[in-house]
Chain A
């Protein structure tokens, strides 16, 4: 009998619980490091969704108006691309339509960024090695990152559901709305966990996971817009969020898809993690060129550092332009075919005016995004300084002005390029789909006119880098304030003086409005002055050293 007992040394040498040793400490560390970032993500997303209930209630007080808007959306493919179809015309249903997909994308983005930052970025910095040398299980850092991102996603879902309940909407719909937000977060956390195992650089891992998210968005968009391709939506976790049918069909079984995808993804990430070396990826890094003959100036270095980012943003602006032009066309088609909507729109100011307002709105979004690109480009100066990479460059024959000027060139020229690109594409799309003779000019102008406002926000970041280097994050706060003022200002009927703080308030709403040169010139002068302050400050101050 005793001979039948098999030895179990192999199992004993890898006690399963040891994989997770130190998990609690790592969770606390992650929470400590991410607390502000997570608080902002959670607050911004859940507040936006929760606030949508009262906002929509004010905009569409009765069932008839909600039916009308739903009918309009259904007839406008460009809307379907972004937000998907309307599943239910109740107040909750409209909220689920408006934020189901976009909110899911935002939560997924948060989750993937947190996971990469807590895993691959830590390995890249060498901190993970210090951690791994302690009594820490092999997969504990990954598990802590996934748990943190998953918990944050769930908190957003819960808060959004509470927002629905507070607005008096049904319980099951509210829970499913929350699930449609949290679900993509859980899945993308697992996807980012896999990406972090595959490649050695955190940038590449972010790109990989972000690419997966983009594919999911595209699959869902195809399924929602192309008739007969509806099944494609079922391939995307973002599509599952819609298929839950919050406040409408309330399809609870769809939750299983989220659970299964999260479990499979997590399992795959863990398997990969257990079989690889700390600091290395599954795909080994390739050797690069042995010499850098083309790298001979700060501008060439900045180009090398910025080109990938600029290429990514260019794709985004291409899509933005196509959507803007496409929607403008669709609005006109929609108005031609739907008598009821025409009636409503005539009340608002006529068919042409609606298209113009739509172009102007897309223009403002483009202007804000162009500023975001520019501020991110300027952030390079701060990060190069903080990592000590600016020091050897400034110890050569490169002046401070030339150094900051190289990145400033990319921030200013890059944002101009992005706006012109999106504007050009918007104009072409609008004109090609029958927008009339002025269509190209209208599309281009709606985006290009935003440049002075974007330049002011970029100049704010330049001024901060030069004059107040500890406070460079305030440039992002300024962008956030401009965004909030633009979105909430008219809704809350804020006084003119408050609205005027945002540079975007001063931009003429082309093509709906006339071109007024004075505010544009004033904004340009303000941007120039802020840049002068920043460059002079950067020249005069001590370099911030490690």
Chain B
């Protein structure tokens, strides 16, 4: 069993290169026991590479990686008994049915819970008698999800598991992940669907160009970015731009619009209050803004943060 001090997944300064390409460039990642950890990043940022290092499918060039207290490369087989994986792009055996593929992957991991398997088949509305080649992308994805969720493991590693699922199935998936968390399982969820991450994840790591640029709870991350304020004032502001933490001030008549660093929020509101505040709209940063701030190329970061 892993304890609070031992993360379920720990990666420190991991580097992985493919020829001249540096896919992982000093990646640090820590996933605590029992949490659902969101793993965000643009295409090609290195999410799948990091996950495949954690699975022992790729060997890191340098740095250390531990999964469930073991070395993912050397202890691959022992660790794989304790974790389940859903790839982002599931490719099935064309002449095996979905049911056979689920049982195969489950059996290779050391067995799966037949009752849970059947419940999941029903919940995800998957016909297990169809051959692998006839499944749509969403249905192939369901096969891998069911095989992972029906097994009794400590850790779930999910690489963009819901791409191709319809909104209904997406909701079923979110339900399932919530009950996994209640059962005390740890989940690493790589995703592009921000609503999914906001709904499910306790903590989030944002990866860019092979390195994690931000990690923490959603509240913590929100704290790092700016809140958008729109106010209607009796007396127009003149010197707001000088207030610490205030950016991008736009004044149109009596109305003022600006963004403010989250830790300077009370100072800025105080400055408005002295001018006869008639109305105030405050929009907390969305995950999307958070995301764009880190995704946008270096020069564009501010512009992205100032949107809305």
Contact = CB atoms under 8 A, between A and B. Distances in A.
B133 A392 contact: no
Contacts of A124: 94, 133
Nearest to B134: A285
A88 B101 CA distance: 58
Given A391-B87, A397-B80, A296 B97 contact: no
A167 B185 CA distance: 78
B68 to A, nearest CB: 13
Contacts of B97: 287-290, 292
A395 B156 CA distance: 11
Interface residues of A, number: 38
A392 B107 contact: no
A388 B89 CA distance: 8
Q: Which of A295, A301, A387, A545 gathers most chain B CB within 10 Å?
A: A295
B85 interface: yes
Contacts of B91: 387-389, 546
Contact of A393 (B59, B94, B105): B105
B81 A292 contact: no
Contacts of A397: 77-78, 80-81, 108-110
B114 to A, nearest CB: 8
Contacts of A200: 133-134
B80 A292 contact: no
A291 B144 contact: no
Contacts of B96: 288, 292, 295, 304
Interface stretch (B123-131, B201-209, B245-253, B258-266): B123-131
Nearest to B137: A126
Nearest to B90: A392
Main secondary structure of the interface of A (DSSP, over half): loop
A166 interface: no
A453 B96 CA distance: 34
Q: Which of A290, A293, A394, A398 gathers most chain B CB within 10 Å?
A: A290
Nearest to A394: B57
Given A290-B99, A291-B103, A399 B77 contact: yes
B129 A296 contact: no
A543 B52 contact: yes
Contact of A305 (B55, B76, B93, B102): B93
B95 interface: yes
Contacts of B59: 540, 542
B104 A296 contact: yes
A400 B77 CA distance: 9
Contacts of A288: 96-97, 99-100, 129-131
A467 to B, nearest CB: 15
B85 A392 contact: yes
A126 to B, nearest CB: 9
A30 to B, nearest CB: 23
A55 interface: no
A304 B105 CA distance: 14
B92 interface: yes
B273 interface: no
Interface of A: 124, 200-201, 203, 285, 287-293, 295-298, 300-301, 304-305, 387-389, 391-400, 540, 542-543, 545-546
Closest 8 A/B residue pairs (Cβ): A292-B100, A296-B107, A287-B129, A292-B103, A288-B97, A396-B108, A395-B85, A388-B91
27 contacts: A203-B94, A288-B96, A288-B129, A288-B130, A288-B131, A289-B99, A289-B129, A290-B97, A290-B128, A291-B103, A292-B96, A292-B102, A296-B104, A389-B93, A391-B57, A392-B85, A392-B87, A392-B90, A394-B55, A394-B57, A395-B87, A396-B108, A396-B110, A397-B81, A397-B109, A398-B108, A543-B52
Given A289-B97, A289-B129, 4 more contacts: A201-B94, A285-B131, A291-B100, A399-B76
